[in-house]
Amino acid sequence: MTEPPLARRPIVGVMGGAECGPEEAALAEDVGRLLARRHAILLSGGRGGVMEAASRGAAAEGGLVLGLLPGRDATESPPNAHLSVALFTGLGDGRNYVNACASHALIAIAGGWGTLSEIALARKLGKPVVLLRGWVLDAPDLIRASTAEDAVEEALLSIA
Residue 6 forms part of a structural domain: no
* Residue 136: per-residue pLDDT: 67
Contacts of 46 (CB under 8 A, 6+ apart): 55, 66, 67, 68, 69, 77, 79, 80, 83, 86, 87
Quickly state the pLDDT bin for 1 (edges 50, 70, 90): low
Q: What percent of the chain has pLDDT over 70?
A: 97
DSSP 8-state secondary structure symbol assigned to residue 6: G
Domain count for the chain, please give it: 1
- Tens-digit pLDDT profile for residues 20-43: 999 999 999 999 999 999 999 999
Quickly state the pLDDT bin for 7 (edges 50, 70, 90): confident
Residue 8 forms part of a structural domain: no
Burial of 110 from C-beta contacts in 10 A (0-12 / 13-18 / 19+): buried
Closest CA to 31 of 8, 62, 54: 54
Quickly state the pLDDT bin for 3 (edges 50, 70, 90): confident
Q: How far apart are CA 10 and CA 114, in angstroms?
A: 23
Residue 59 has pLDDT above 70, yes or no: yes
Supply the range of the domain harboring residue 152.
13-159
Quickly state the pLDDT bin for 139 (edges 50, 70, 90): confident
Q: Are 75 and 82 in contact (CB under 8 A)?
A: no
Residue 160 has pLDDT above 80, yes or no: no
Residue 151 forms part of a structural domain: yes
Residue 2 forms part of a structural domain: no
Residue 13 has pLDDT above 70, yes or no: yes
Residue 34 forms part of a structural domain: yes
Q: Are 16 and 28 in contact (CB under 8 A)?
A: yes
Residue 117 forms part of a structural domain: yes
- Tens-digit pLDDT profile for residues 116-130: 999 999 999 999 999
- Tens-digit pLDDT profile for residues 61-100: 999 999 999 999 999 999 999 999 999 999 999 999 999 9
Residue 3 forms part of a structural domain: no
Q: What is the CATH number of the domain that holds 26?
A: 3.40.50.450
- For residue 144, the one-letter residue type is R
